[in-house]
């Protein structure tokens, strides 16, 4: 029987990306091979409890929502995550996957909306970006760059040009919470006429860094 190590399954508003603001069921998988400096889910690195896919589907169904986000940690670090994503799609949910960009996304069900990070120097994990993942993105997907400072911003502009990111999908620029002023980032994007979408993490402005939110 396929099973996954789960840190938490909870109900909240989606705070990011295209489905921002929608009531959403979140499935947070345990474990991550990265260690970003700004990580806000270190509590998901270890622990958790094993759950069968059927049990996860049952827990999600209790929330009565249309949107489901599979997140972590790094959800793709557990191979059974692929089966979970397909089962959720088959059940009729609108499913999104939040992934670090460091692991191969090629086998993810095509119906899943992928929100893939592109790690900046400020994250400390820049070397982990897997550029072959870009080939597996479609127009429904999004690449997210969390920016820590002006250096990250200038570096991100270079990435936009070098990898032609906006040709693959929508690109999100997000200020690292309490590290980079959202106003500064907005001013820089406007001054440079960048073809990116700025986002702030809605859930943190509503509830801070409380787990399960």
Residues contributing to the annotated binding site for [4Fe-4S] cluster: 32, 36, 39
Of 9-17, 36-44, 88-96, 156-164, the window that binds ligand SF4 (rule: CB under 6 A) is: 36-44
CA distances from 186 to 1, 143, 191 (A): 48, 18, 9
- Annotated binding-site members for substrate: 13-15, 28, 71
On the CB side of 52, CA atoms within 13 Å amount to 4
Pairing of strands 23-29, 49-52: unpaired
What whole-number distance in Å separates Cα of residue 107 and Cα of residue 5? 20
Regarding 36 and contact with ligand SF4 (CB under 6 A), the answer is yes
Each residue 78-117 as x (binds ligand SF4 by CB under 6 A) or -, in order, gives ----------------------x-----------------
Minimum distance, C-beta of residue 32 to ligand SF4, in the bound complex (Å): 3
CB of 152 to ligand SF4, least distance (A): 14
What is d(CA 150, CA 164) in angstroms, rounded to the nearest whole number? 21
Count of residues engaged in binding ligand SF4, rule: CB under 6 A: 10
Using CB under 6 A, which of the segments 5-13, 71-79, 82-90, 180-188 binds ligand SF4? Answer: 71-79
87 touches 96 (CB < 8 A):
no
Q: Is position 147 an interface residue for ligand SF4 (rule: CB under 6 A)?
A: no
Supply the minimum distance, in Å, between the C-beta of residue 24 and ligand SF4.
18
**Nearest-angstrom CA–CA distance, 49 and 209:** 22
211/43 Cα distance (integer angstroms): 8
Task: Tell me which residues touch ligand SF4 (CB under 6 A).
Answer: 32, 34-36, 39, 41, 72-74, 100
């Amino acid at each position: 029987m396929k099973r996954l190590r789960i840190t938490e399954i909870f109900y909240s508003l989606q705070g990011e990306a295209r489905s921002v603001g929608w009531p959403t069921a979140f499935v947070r998988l345990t474990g991550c091979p990265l260690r970003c400096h700004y990580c806000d889910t270190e509590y998901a690195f270890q622990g958790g409890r094993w759950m069968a896919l059927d049990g996860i589907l049952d827990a999600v169904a209790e929330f009565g929502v249309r949107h489901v986000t599979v997140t972590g940690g790094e959800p793709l670090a557990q191979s059974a995550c692929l089966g979970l994503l397909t089962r959720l799609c088959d059940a009729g949910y609108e499913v999104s996957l939040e992934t670090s960009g460091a692991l191969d996304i090629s086998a993810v069900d095509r119906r899943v909306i992928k929100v893939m990070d592109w790690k900046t120097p400020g994250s400390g994990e820049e070397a982990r970006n897997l550029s072959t993942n870009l080939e597996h993105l479609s127009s429904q997907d999004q690449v997210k760059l969390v920016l820590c400072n002006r250096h990250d911003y200038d570096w991100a502009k270079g990435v936009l040009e070098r990898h032609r990111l906006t040709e693959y999908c929508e690109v999100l620029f997000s200020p690292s919470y309490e590290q980079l002023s959202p106003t500064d980032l907005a001013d820089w994007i406007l001054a440079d006429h960048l073809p990116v979408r700025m986002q702030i993490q809605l859930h943190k402005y509503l509830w801070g860094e409380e787990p399960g939110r």
